[in-house]
Chains A and B, each alone.
Chain A
């Protein structure tokens, strides 16, 4: 463990907590893409199947349990409990265009052709594009509540911090995983225009408005 990975995990944890607070406090999931949340739940389910077979540390297990529970819980809140506030009309990104290519790619480009390894690879590829429905929804509505933009900033930062972690591990541990690194860079790059808007607008107290 290193400071970059810890900061990344905490940023990821913060993002999920901010989202849960937003939905619970406002009792609404307006502006949130349910499709992205479904993709995140798939990412965690396919990645943490080794939860009971591979004990790494109490921290690792606790975080996996929290990420699994919160992502499934968020889908429940969005599609069942606060269903009436879910914005179907703006959450229209075709997620099959994300699921199929990443599934095929994980069958072709992986470290080892085994069930667990392919599911892990699929989860890595899917996570890199899972935010697209959310970013698409923000561009369609043309704006986002400030708490939603804080959620996106924390979520985008987490994988950016993981890139620093991979650089650190390469130089100090000689460890690197090219699949995680490439997917992590793609994932972080997708947030670039949002990061620009967040830093130039939201941090100055303005609302996040996308040029229509």
Chain B
């Protein structure tokens, strides 16, 4: 799957 963007987790 397309990377989940933007990565909002630290």
Contacts and interface: CB of A to CB of B under 8 A. Distances in A.
Nearest to B6: A54
B2 A12 contact: no
A117 B7 CA distance: 10
Nearest to B8: A56
B7 A120 contact: yes
Given A54-B6, A117-B3, 8 more contacts: A50-B7, A56-B8, A60-B8, A67-B10, A111-B4, A114-B3, A162-B9, A180-B9
Interface of B: prevailing SS: loop
Interface of A: prevailing SS: helix
A125 to B, nearest CB: 15
A70 B9 CA distance: 18
Contacts, number: 30
Interface of A: 5, 9, 12, 50, 54, 56, 60, 63-64, 67, 110-112, 114, 117, 120, 162, 165, 175, 177, 180
Nearest to A121: B3
29 contacts: A5-B9, A9-B10, A12-B10, A50-B6, A54-B6, A54-B7, A56-B6, A56-B8, A60-B8, A60-B10, A63-B10, A64-B10, A67-B10, A110-B3, A111-B1, A111-B2, A111-B3, A111-B4, A112-B2, A112-B3, A114-B3, A117-B3, A120-B3, A120-B7, A162-B9, A165-B9, A175-B4, A177-B4, A180-B9
